[in-house]
């Protein structure tokens, strides 16, 4: 079908964005096999070392990857009479990306394996081979694999190899297995369903500045990476970890590494421990401090059916969000077109549209899973934090608008004039599928009320639940069109097809063009004001090329080849000069944090930049705190600000209760804001919090879509905790 050209263009732009993200993965981790001995005698033990050399900023994983990642695996192929032992793992680094904690190696690591030679192993050359597989990650994760080998001479004497010194230095880094460290492990309190806090306590003099526990893990339980160091009156070191069980019983023993450092710059010491757990709850002296955040619901205490219902409802509501309105107009035109067609054809096109939506949501689910496996944190609308995606969407939506204006037609059939006419009256399979993809892409910056809770739940679940939740949102988004295509009698309210449709099609190009302008504005946060100029020049150039294509290639009769060459020259020249040379669009320089949200009208709210420290300082000084997490690309955020935050009654109330207003700009990726969103069960912005002045009180999490009354009620409650007078019950509201 003719609409396949736009589909191919969408795929091409997506591929360009992906390639730009993965271009830094050209350098790969290198693996080799080293032996501690060049010559060994029967009965000796030779230390083999698999060395992994990683490019800068890349890492591989320890025996327990943590919240994400998989450990390196070694499969041996060795001669008879030589036996390979277990991998001896050096202590890893604890690596945190947002709220995901992993255990990794950077730059270089030697994984040590003892090779035991039997007393009757034959003399001569012994070729030691191994297949090594690993996962290497930076911004993306890539699987790695290498076949390595080394030669050992079995003879009458032992002779060290040239790598003996390197291997010995890594042996010294291995965790101590024989030590006098007496570590006690016990449960802190009775379990809450499948989650239970665990306390580890020991005495070490001098007392280390840094202490942690890196767990080995188990098949039916998991020890979280987050560690809380308590400060009881005793001189002991006390750590709190969280254990989550997957089976019926709690573990009776836990194993791992106690890792300590005398100071931040001192070398780490690691002690391997295998601890028997006491069933008695810990002493009250180790009671937790009061948390300033609300707990996030887990799968165990949240009904999956309830979340699926919210996901479906959220998908339905997305149909009336401003992000998707341009595509809805196209679908209405499509229904008018289809009203005179065979009912079976109408049903088919409805299902094709739904498949476009579902495939797009499955792709989003796959991206979320991939991001999580890479040790990063995924969130709703995260693709709009990618500058290449925003540029690609701007180009695509501009071309859709130009197509609706009639500058060119997306068709492969018949003559040019006939094609221009038939396009206004028919929607092919490719067009229906593309509309589903476009609706999904434009829906992601919007967060519907029911959708926020569902996505906050989904982003913390295993891959299977993520796929199920995203598919349900897609079904909700596509449901109205599928129902209408299967119930054509419900379309009687639509006018009959006629010449008016051509003008309606052109009129629908304007909201699509407005969407392109909005997307162009979003590029400011990635490329700055000068960058918008060059993107605008490129858009003008492809608009010229689109007009030349429609006028001289599609509808022209002479010199089509020359016109085609000119179109390609205009697009290629504009791309090289505007996007590559001037904009450097694939590798933009990171801009300083945007201050546009902080600019206030003299009579407006005096916003300050958000940080957890700023919240604590304001509350310690006795001020209630209003926090607004927002982003340029979040239309729901702008709706809230316009209708419920930057209004006279809220500004007056903030001054009356002496509250501090903080704003968190999430236009570009910010791991600290991501972590804060996850703490409060949100997969993305908007998120508005109201903190009472009392530091021991939890904040109130306001709904996704605000009303003035809800904001004022929350501020009144926050003020009442310190005895500040509340607004009179009959106070006027806007």
pLDDT in tens, 47-75: 999 999 999 989 999 999 988 888 999 99
**What confidence category does residue 4 fall into, taking pLDDT thresholds of 50, 70 and 90?**
very low
Give the angle 356-362-363 at the CA atoms, nearest 5°. 90
Residue 493: per-residue pLDDT: 58
Residue 602: per-residue pLDDT: 54
Placement of tokens 């804001």 in the chain? 673
Tokens for 636, please give them. Answer: 């729901």
Is the full-model pTM beyond 0.75?
A: no
SS3 at position 83: strand
User: Is the Cα dihedral 667, 670, 673, 678 positive or negative?
Assistant: positive
Residue 421: per-residue pLDDT: 35
Lowest-confidence pick of 6-10, 238-242, 706-710: 6-10
**What confidence category does residue 168 fall into, taking pLDDT thresholds of 50, 70 and 90?**
very high
Tokens for 479, please give them. Answer: 């449901």
Q: Which of 681 and 500 is assigned the larger pLDDT?
A: 681
**What confidence category does residue 17 fall into, taking pLDDT thresholds of 50, 70 and 90?**
very low
DSSP character string of 670-718 = -HHHHHHHHHTT-SSS-EEEEE-SSTTSPPEE--SS--HHHHHHHHHHH
What gap in Å lies between CA 479 and CA 608, rounded to an integer? 42
Residue 394: per-residue pLDDT: 85
What gap in Å lies between CA 295 and CA 715, rounded to an integer? 21
Residue 45: per-residue pLDDT: 93
pLDDT at 136 over 90: yes
Lowest-confidence pick of 489-493, 630-634, 666-670: 489-493
Q: What is the mean pLDDT of residues 179-208?
A: 81
What gap in Å lies between CA 690 and CA 718, rounded to an integer? 7
**What confidence category does residue 311 fall into, taking pLDDT thresholds of 50, 70 and 90?**
confident
CB-based contact 200:238 (threshold 8 Å) = yes
411 burial (CB, 10 Å; 0-12 / 13-18 / 19+) is buried
Lowest-confidence pick of 149-153, 376-380, 548-552, 693-697: 376-380
Lowest-confidence pick of 242-256, 506-520, 584-598, 707-721: 584-598
CB-based contact 3:413 (threshold 8 Å) = no
pLDDT at 165 over 80: yes
Q: What is the mean pLDDT of residues 87-97?
A: 92
Q: Which of 395 and 481 is assigned the larger pLDDT?
A: 395
* pLDDT tens, position by position, 553-574: 888 777 888 888 999 999 999 9
Q: Which of 484 and 258 is assigned the larger pLDDT?
A: 258
Q: Which of 529 and 641 is assigned the larger pLDDT?
A: 641
Buried b / exposed e along 105-141 (16+ C-beta atoms within 10 A): beeebbbbbebebeeebeeeebebebebebbbbbebb
DSSP character string of 18-44 = HHHHHGGG-S--EEEEEESEEEE-TT-
Residue 333: per-residue pLDDT: 60
* pLDDT tens, position by position, 362-398: 888 887 787 666 555 556 666 667 788 788 888 888 8
Q: State percent of the chain over pLDDT 70.
A: 76
């Amino acid at each position: 079908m003719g609409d396949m050209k736009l589909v191919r263009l969408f795929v091409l732009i997506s591929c360009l964005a992906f390639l730009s993200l993965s271009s830094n993965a050209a350098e790969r981790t290198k693996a080799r096999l080293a032996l501690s001995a060049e010559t060994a005698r029967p009965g000796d033990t030779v230390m083999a070392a698999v060395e992994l050399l990683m490019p800068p900023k890349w890492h591989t994983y320890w025996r327990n990857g943590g919240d994400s990642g998989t450990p390196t695996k070694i499969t041996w192929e060795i001669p008879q009479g030589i036996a390979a032992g277990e991998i001896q793992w050096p202590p890893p680094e604890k690596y945190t990306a947002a709220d995901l904690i992993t255990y990794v190696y950077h730059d270089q690591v030697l994984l040590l394996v003892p090779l035991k030679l039997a007393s009757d192993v034959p003399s001569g050359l012994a070729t030691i081979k191994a297949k090594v597989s690993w996962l290497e990650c930076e911004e993306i994760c890539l699987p790695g694999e290498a076949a390595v080998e080394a030669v050992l001479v079995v003879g009458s004497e032992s002779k060290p190899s040239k790598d003996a010194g390197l291997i010995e230095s890594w042996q010294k880094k291995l965790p101590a297995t024989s030590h006098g460290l007496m570590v006690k492990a016990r449960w802190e309190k009775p379990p809450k369903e499948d989650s239970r806090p665990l306390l580890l306590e020991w005495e070490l003099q001098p007392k280390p500045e840094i202490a942690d526990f890196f767990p080995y893990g188990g098949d039916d339980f998991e020890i979280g990476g987050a560690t809380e160091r308590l400060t009881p009156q005793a001189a002991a070191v006390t750590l709190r970890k969280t254990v989550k069980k997957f089976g019926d019983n709690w573990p009776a023993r836990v194993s791992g590494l106690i890792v300590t450092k005398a100071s931040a710059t001192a070398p780490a010491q690691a002690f391997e421990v295998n601890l028997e757990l006491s069933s008695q709850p810990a002493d009250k002296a180790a009671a937790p401090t009061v948390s300033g955040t609300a707990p996030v619901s887990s799968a165990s205490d949240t009904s999956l059916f309830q979340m699926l219902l919210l996901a479906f409802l959220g998908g339905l509501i997305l149909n009336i969000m401003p992000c998707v309105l341009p595509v809805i107009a196209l679908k209405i035109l499509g229904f008018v077109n289809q009203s005179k067609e065979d009912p079976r054809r109408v049903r088919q096109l409805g299902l094709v549209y739904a498949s476009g939506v579902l495939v797009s949501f499955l792709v989003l689910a796959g991206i979320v899973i991939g991001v999580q496996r890479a040790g990063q944190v995924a969130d709703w609308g995260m693709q709009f934090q990618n500058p290449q995606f925003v540029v690609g969407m701007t180009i695509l939506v501009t071309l859709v608008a130009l197509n609706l204006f009639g500058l060119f037609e997306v068709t492969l059939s018949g003559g040019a004039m006939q094609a221009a006419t038939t396009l206004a009256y028919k929607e092919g399979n490719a067009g229906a599928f593309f509309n589903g993809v476009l609706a999904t892409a434009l829906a992601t910056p919007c967060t519907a009320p029911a959708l926020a809770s569902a996505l906050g739940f989904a982003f913390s679940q295993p891959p299977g639940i993520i796929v199920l939740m995203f598919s349900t949102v897609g079904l909700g988004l596509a449901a109205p069109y599928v129902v209408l295509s299967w119930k054509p009698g419900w379309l009687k309210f639509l006018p009959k097809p006629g010449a008016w449709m051509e003008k309606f099609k052109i009129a629908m190009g304007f909201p699509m063009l407005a969407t392109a302008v909005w997307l162009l504005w979003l590029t400011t946060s990635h490329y700055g004001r000068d960058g918008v100029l060059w993107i605008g020049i490129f858009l003008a150039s492809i608009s010229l090329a689109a007009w030349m294509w429609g006028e001289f290639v599609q509808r022209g009769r002479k010199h089509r080849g020359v016109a085609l060459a000119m179109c390609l020259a205009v697009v290629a020249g504009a791309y090289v000069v505007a996007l590559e040379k001037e904009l450097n669009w694939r590798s933009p320089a990171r801009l300083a944090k945007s201050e546009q949200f902080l600019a206030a009208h003299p009579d407006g709210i005096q916003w300050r930049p958000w940080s957890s420290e700023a919240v604590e300082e304001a509350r310690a000084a006795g001020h209630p705190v209003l926090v607004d997490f927002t982003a340029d690309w979040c239309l729901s955020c702008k709706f809230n600000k316009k209708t419920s935050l930057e209004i006279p009654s809220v500004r007056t109330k903030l001054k009356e209760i002496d509250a501090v207003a903080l704003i968190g700009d999430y236009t570009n990726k910010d791991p600290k804001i991501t972590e804060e969103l996850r703490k409060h069960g949100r997969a993305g912005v908007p998120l508005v919090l109201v903190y009472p002045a009392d530091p021991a009180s939890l904040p109130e999490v306001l709904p996704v879509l605000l009303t003035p009354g809800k904001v004022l009620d929350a501020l009144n409650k926050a003020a009442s905790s310190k005895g500040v007078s509340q607004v009179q019950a009959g106070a006027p509201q806007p």
